[in-house]
């Protein structure tokens, strides 16, 4: 019977050793609308975590969950870390900005005697006609401002971009319809290489 008593005591002590869960979130400040993210947490001592994404009604359960933010705006991401048995829990909330990526500016590196550059994409084109002639290096590239002049949101579908140079009435294709899917491309800048010229496309999140 003494052994039995010791067993009961050990079981109670073991059960009481269960530590409280600690919820922790370290998310990015900005997330792009429409993109699928795999979100993780830095929580401790938990058995499972529930994820709530505010206005996006669907919730998830898991340590790491996939999520696509559907709308632009501020979102509260709330996680609740539960202990074994879900009798104890801890909550952590973080506000993130769900936004879009827009092209900020482009840089062109190479030797140019063109009087204007035309960047073409599916839904339009952008023309740069000032200071286009010269030898442009990484340190001193040609810079063409887009943000403010054009509202060019990076799409979630593949997009083909071309760059043309114009001298007098002759047009030369410098970069010919290079297709990229910005759903998966997160490089900043995104580099497009032609035979003699390199174009770098810089983006930033919309405020």
Partner 1 sequence: MKFLLLTLTLFSFSAFSQDSTRVRLFVKGGEQYFVRIDGELQPQTNIITVSQGSHDIEIWSFKQKLFKDNLETGKLESTNFFAELTPSSEYVGYLQRTDQYKRKLFFAKTAPFLITGISLAVLPFTTMGRINKHEELVQNTFLNDRNQVPDETLENTQLQYNAVNTLFFISAAGALIGGASFFLLKPVAKKLTTPAFKQQNPFTLEIMQLTYNRSIQSPEFGLTLHF
Binding site for partner 1 (CB under 8 A): 1, 4-5, 7-8, 47-48, 50, 52, 57-59, 61, 82, 84-87
Q: Which residue's CB is nearer to partner 1, number 57 or number 138?
A: 57
Of 188, 17, 181, nearest to 104 by C-alpha is 188
Nearer to partner 1, 82 or 182 (CB): 82
**Cβ closer to partner 1: 30 or 78?**
78
- Smallest separation (angstroms) from partner 1 to the CB of 85: 4
59 versus 73: smaller Cβ distance to partner 1? 59
At its nearest, how many Å lie between partner 1 and the CB of residue 181? Answer: 30
Which string of b and e fits 194-206 if b means at least 16 CB within 10 Å? beebbbbbebebb
Cβ atoms 77, 96 nearer than 8 A = yes
**CB 2: neighbour CB atoms within 10 A?**
6
Q: At its nearest, how many Å lie between partner 1 and the CB of residue 48?
A: 7
First-last CA distance in the chain: 71
The two counts, helices (H) then strands (E), for the chain are 1, 16
Least separation in angstroms between CB 112 and partner 1? 56
């Amino acid at each position: 019977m003494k052994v039995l008593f010791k067993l009961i005591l050990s079981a109670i002590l073991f059960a009481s050793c269960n530590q409280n869960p600690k919820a922790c979130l370290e998310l990015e400040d900005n997330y792009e609308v429409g993109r699928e993210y795999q979100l993780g947490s830095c929580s401790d001592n938990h058995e499972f975590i529930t994820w709530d994404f505010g206005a996006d009604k669907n919730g998830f359960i898991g340590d790491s969950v996939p999520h696509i933010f559907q709308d632009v705006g501020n979102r509260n991401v709330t996680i609740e870390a539960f202990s074994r048995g879900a009798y104890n829990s801890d909550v952590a909330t973080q506000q993130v900005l769900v936004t879009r990526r827009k092209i900020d500016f482009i840089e062109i590196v190479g030797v140019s005697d063109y009087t204007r550059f035309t960047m073409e994409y599916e839904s339009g084109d952008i023309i740069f006609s000032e200071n286009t002639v010269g030898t442009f290096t990484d340190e001193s590239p040609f810079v063409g401002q887009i943000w403010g002049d054009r509202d060019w949101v990076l799409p979630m579908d593949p997009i083909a971009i071309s760059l043309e140079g114009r001298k007098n009435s002759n047009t030369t294709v410098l970069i010919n319809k290079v297709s990229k899917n910005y759903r998966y491309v997160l490089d900043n800048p995104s580099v497009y290489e032609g035979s003699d010229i390199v174009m770098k496309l810089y983006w930033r999140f919309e405020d």
